Amino acid sequence: MSTLKLKDEAGSFTFSRDYGTSIKKNESVTKIWIYDLNTLELISKSQSTATNEVKETEDSGFGIVTSSYGLAFSSLRRLIKKYDKYRKDK
């Protein structure tokens, strides 16, 4: 498993700007590889990309934004759920 933080422009909070408009983006990629431990053969690999784009304007107020670390964690959860759904040993 690996995660890569591509962009972390927005941080965790957003608030009104004094003037103008700003667009910020948080983005991460999560990859997972599944190996057969007996033969060390690659069985499957998957990748998930998560993005959160925020537009800050003069009247946007205060808000909470999912950080790139949070996006990576939620992507990993989705990938694990996907593999859990198709488990053969249930």
Do the domain assignments include residue 90?
no
Instruction: Tell me the pTM.
Output: 0.65
Residue 13 has pLDDT above 80, yes or no: no
Instruction: Tell whether 17 is covered by a domain.
Output: yes
Is residue 53 included in any domain, yes or no?
A: yes
Query: Domain for residue 20, yes or no?
Result: yes
Q: What residue type is 89 in one-letter code?
A: D
Q: Is 60 helix (H, G, I), strand (E, B) or coil?
A: coil
Count: domains in the chain: 1
pLDDT at 41: 92
- Classify residue 28 as exposed, middle or buried by CB count within 10 Å of its CB (0-12, 13-18, 19+): buried
Domain region containing 74: 2-85
Q: pLDDT by residue (tens digit) across 50-90?
A: 888 877 766 666 677 777 888 888 888 888 888 777 666 66
Residue 27 domain-assigned? yes
C-alpha span between 20 and 10 (Å, rounded): 16
